Structure 1
Amino acid sequence: MPTIYDFSVTTLTGEQQSLAQYQGQVLVIVNVASQCVFTTQYVQLQALYERYRAQGLVILAFPCNQFGGQEPGSNTEIMQFCQLHFGVDFPIFAKIEVNGPNAEPLFRFLKQQQRGFLGSRRIKWNFTKFVIDKEGHVVKRFAPYRKIADLQPVIEKLLAAA
């Protein structure tokens, strides 16, 4: 059965990075945007990362400009914005598409593994969050409006698993 470890993604500097390097860690994979009503979730995502990173949590952010043009900046501008305004130090990758024919293969996989509201595979907006267990399986999908605190019980359970 495929896992997220079968995928490589593009870093902000344009290099390919295998997600296999995150084996044994709990992941939150999220599509983000700098000019979205949910952009303040960066604060909670960073707090979540700081609280659980020593226990093996990693947050992987993927900027996306498909929803209302809310991520117009370059990869460098996006990183600077996140660091300056929110103190983000979890990995942020190159800008991608999450829906349509040019969707990032990782996000096609995520959507197949965990459907959204009413069984939809399509990502509806920025800050859709996927929680991944230590074996690379997608265990839960959270809609953009869901608070970061809603992820906490799932993450704690996965971090405690052997």
Structure 2
Amino acid sequence: MTPRISVLDVDINALDGTAANLPQYTGRPLLVVNVASRCGLTPQYAALERLQRRYEDRGFTVLGVPCNQFAGQEPGSAQEIAEFCSATYGVTFPMTEKVEVNGADRHPLYDRLTGFADAEGHTGDIRWNFEKFLIGRDGRVVARFAPQTDPESAEVTAALEAQLG
């Protein structure tokens, strides 16, 4: 069953330690992605940044959520993560604090996200870095994409454009 509750009323901090203020994204599509700096999928940062730049004028935002639960591929401090993303990929989209996305200490944001099924029917635990969730204007999950799905794929951009109207 697909949860039909907003994910935007959950408290989470930004990478710099201030409140990320998720309610500010109400009325705007948001792509939430658990990210890591030392993963084979890390080059997806470039595609995520291109999506950000292509659609930000229409209200869209990517939200990166660093996580170190998959083979220790995000070991850095908040400052190291920010510097890596900026220097290596020119990331301008917002990032949250590093959180756990699976297990007993799963962040409440991911408690809500993981109940949504992707196109293949997968629900539950995050499978790897760069799993993506498209949040609609109402703050509810509208699509889930596997880690290997290119952020600029037709599947992702079609779902995003449908939310932009």
> For this structure pair, what is the TM-score category when the shorter chain's length is used for normalisation?
over 0.9
Q: Tell me the CA shift for residue 139 of structure 1.
A: 0.5
TM-score between the two structures when normalised by the length of structure 2: 0.92
* Cα distance in 2 for residues equivalent to 1:147 and 1:53: 18
Q: Tell me the CA shift for residue 115 of structure 1.
A: 5.3
Q: List alignment gaps of at least 5 residues for structure 1.
A: none
**The structure with more strand, counted as a fraction of residues:** 1
Q: Contact 2:31–2:63 (CA<8 Å) still a contact in 1?
A: yes
In structure 2, the CA distance between the partners of 1:52 and 1:122, relative to structure 1 (3 Å rule), is same
* Cα distance in 2 for residues equivalent to 1:95 and 1:116: 27
Query: Percent same amino acid among aligned pairs?
Result: 41
Per the alignment, residue 49 of structure 1 pairs with: 52
Within 5 Å, which residues of 2 pair with 1:9-28?
9-28=12-31
Q: List alignment gaps of at least 5 residues for structure 2.
A: none
In structure 2, the CA distance between the partners of 1:116 and 1:108, relative to structure 1 (3 Å rule), is farther
Q: Which of these residues, 37, 40, 49, is aligned with residue 37 of structure 1?
A: 40
* CA deviation string 1:39-64 (max 9, x = no partner): 00000000010000000110000100
* Cα distance in 1 for residues equivalent to 2:50 and 2:16: 25
Over aligned residue pairs, what C-alpha RMSD do you find? 1.4
TM-score between the two structures when normalised by the length of structure 1: 0.94
* Cα distance in 2 for residues equivalent to 1:51 and 1:115: 24
Letter of the structure 2 residue corresponding to residue 30 of structure 1: V
Q: Tell me the CA shift for residue 132 of structure 1.
A: 0.6
**The structure with more helix, counted as a fraction of residues:** 1
